[in-house]
Amino acid sequence: MAKTVETIDLVKNFNGLTAVDRVNLSVEKGEIFGLLGPNGAGKTTTIKMLITLLKPTSGKAMVAGFDVLTQADEVRKRIGYVPQESALDIRLTASENLELFAELYALPKSKIKARIQEVLELVELNRRKDDLVAHFSGGMKRRLEISRGLLPTPEVLFLDEPTLGLDPQTRRVVWEFVHRLQKEWNLTILATTHYLEEAEHEMDKVAIIDKGRIMAMGRPDDLKAEFGKDLVELTVKAQNGGSSEEQVRSRLLQLQLGSDLIVRDKAVRVAVANGKTALPSIIHKIESIGIEVESISVRSPSLDDVFIKYTGRGIREEEGAEDSSDTRKQLAKIIGKMRSRV
Ligand SMILES: Nc1ncnc2c1ncn2[C@@H]1O[C@H](COP(=O)(O)OP(=O)(O)O)[C@@H](O)[C@H]1O
Ligand SMILES: [Mg+2]
């Protein structure tokens, strides 16, 4: 079956920095595909190559059946893009913002009105179409931006951090609209996120990206199942005589409690085939070397555990402020590109 997005060993270098490192992605038609990774992982750079805003250093990428390098115009006709940074004119109404872009997208004049109505209905902003965007909430602005990405009737919609900076409830609402798009318009959606919960609950398929590399790819449930195990988490009492974390770790390692052992401060996590049956023997083994167990619990793996397994650290440790310095420049570039299509 033909893939809607496919990359083969896609690479992007920026003066010595490899931002995207031999990335192989494969997105099926009608799928919501998530690129999950911390800031600086290479998500935006990957998207920009797929939407023909950046030239790959090497490798190949196909979008909707066309090569991003040699058939860029064909690709551009079939994609919608909602950038990471907001790019609405708050002094204009919702409709006016869309009209501006409808012209840039070169939609036929006779169709603009109906099309705007259609995309606004989809994100349930039709009743607010004549209100100034300045009065919109963060979630409404994001929905308006998504509707703008739909103006050219794309086959593939690229959403770069669609819920960045929104509160959890609003994020949920934005995702509900994305799911509607997928269902009602049979759109293929490639979205980036650094929110694990979103990757886990909103995406059909996820690629974990770190330092430009794809570390794992699959359905969230499959990725968790690959982990194959229950996770036993326990805390141990502080040691008299003050063993270091490293000493505790090496003593625990020797006990062969299970796989994927992590020791952090007084917290220990280990993967076992069956948590419930393993508990007594784990407690027994640890206490037999003179370390006292304070608390213990069993849970199923989350995508966070999968992320840690492949990258060696939690994604949450990496969350930080987004770099928004070159928003204006980026926007100017996007508009320039669109103008060149008109
Ligand atoms: N135009 C550019 N010039 C130089 N380095 C860049 C440029 N764009 C991105 N980078 C670098 O490439 C890496 C990946 O960035 P980016 O794709 O924006 O990551 P993400 O979207 O996952 O946060 C980062 O180290 C970033 O600083
Ligand atoms: Mg980004």
Q: How far is the CA of 221 from the centre of ligand 2 (A)?
A: 25
Task: Report how many domains make up the chain.
Answer: 2
User: Taking residues 317-338, what's their average pLDDT?
Assistant: 44
pLDDT score at 240: 59
If you take atom 3 of ligand 1, which residue's CA is the nearest one? 14
Q: Does residue 61 sit in the same domain as residue 176? A: yes
The residue nearest atom 8 of ligand 1, judged by CA position, is 45
Note the helical H segments in the chain.
43-50, 72-76, 94-104, 109-122, 138-150, 168-185, 196-202, 220-227, 245-254, 275-288, 303-311, 327-341
195-to-204, 206, 232, 247, 257 alpha-carbon distances in Å = 15, 12, 24, 34, 31
Are 77 and 151 within one domain? yes
> Residue 266: which CATH number?
3.30.70.260
- Residues 145, 282 share a domain: no
Do residue 154 and residue 16 come from a single domain?
Answer: yes
**Is residue 63 one of the residues assigned to a domain?**
yes
Are 57 and 168 part of one and the same domain? yes
Residue 157 has pLDDT above 90, yes or no: yes
CA–CA gap between residue 205 and residue 191 (Å, rounded): 10
Same-domain check for residues 160 and 237: no
Query: Cβ < 6 Å from ligand 1: which residues?
Result: 14, 17, 19, 37, 39-45
Distance 22 CA to ligand 1 centre (A): 15
- Give per-residue pLDDT as tens, 39-48: 999 999 999 9
Ligand 1, atom 12: closest residue by C-alpha: 19
Query: What is residue 329's predicted lDDT score, i.e. its pLDDT?
Result: 46
pLDDT at 308: 85
98 and 209 share one domain:
yes
Tell me: pLDDT of 28 over 50.
Answer: yes
For the CA of 35, the closest atom of ligand 1 is: 22
315 in any annotated domain? no
Q: Look at residue 278 and tell me if it is in a domain.
A: yes
For residue 320, being part of any structural domain is answered with no
By alpha-carbon position, which residue is closest to atom 27 of ligand 1?
40
Asked if 41 and 160 count as a contact pair (C-beta separation under 8 A), the reply is no
Residue 239: which pLDDT band, with cuts at 50, 70 and 90? low
Residues 107 and 212 in one domain: yes
The amino acid that residue 156 corresponds to is V
148 and 72, same structural domain? Answer: yes
Phi then psi for residue 168, to 5 deg, are -55, -40
Give the model confidence (pLDDT) of 78-125 as tens digits. Answer: 999 999 987 899 999 999 999 999 988 888 999 999 999 999 998 999
The minimum-distance atom of ligand 1 relative to the CA of 161 is 21
In a domain, 57, yes or no: yes
* Ligand 2 centroid distance, CA of 175 (Å): 18
Over the stretch 118-152, which tens digit does the pLDDT of each residue have?
Answer: 999 989 999 999 999 999 999 999 999 999 999 98
pLDDT tier at 262, thresholds 50, 70, 90: confident
Which residue range forms the structural domain that includes residue 242?
229-300
Are residues 130 and 63 both part of a single domain?
yes
- Ligand 1 midpoint to CA 152 (Å): 27
Is the pLDDT at 304 greater than 80, yes or no? yes
Q: Report the nearest atom of ligand 1 relative to the CA of 326.
A: 1
Closest listed ligand to the CA of 42: 1
Q: Is residue 307 domain-resident? A: no
Model confidence at 241, pLDDT cuts 50, 70, 90, reads low
Nearest-atom index, ligand 1, CA of 212: 14
Minimum-distance ligand 1 atom for the alpha carbon of 47: 17
Q: 47 CA to middle of ligand 2, Å?
A: 9
| Residue 117 confidence (pLDDT) | 95
- Which-ligand-closest: CA of 212? 1
* Nearest CA owner, ligand 1 atom 18: 44
47 & 193 share domain: yes
Query: What is the C-alpha separation between 118 and 194, in angstroms, rounded?
Result: 30
Compute, in angstroms, the gap from residue 42 CA to the centroid of ligand 2: 7
Residue 216 has pLDDT above 50, yes or no: yes
* 109 domain-assigned: yes
Averaged pLDDT of the chain: 88
**Nearest Cα residue to atom 1 of ligand 1:** 14
Q: Taking residues 10-36, what's their average pLDDT?
A: 97
Task: Tell me what pLDDT residue 326 has.
Answer: 40
Q: Residues 61-65: what's their mean pLDDT?
A: 97
pLDDT of amino acid 327 = 41
- Ligand 1 atom 17: the closest Cα is on which residue? 42
pTM of the complete model: 0.83
Lowest mean pLDDT among 64-73, 216-225, 269-278, 325-334: 325-334
First and final C-alpha spacing in the chain: 33
Let me know if residue 100 belongs to a domain: yes
The CA 55 to ligand 1 mean position distance, Å, reads 14
Residue 114 sits in the same domain as residue 97: yes
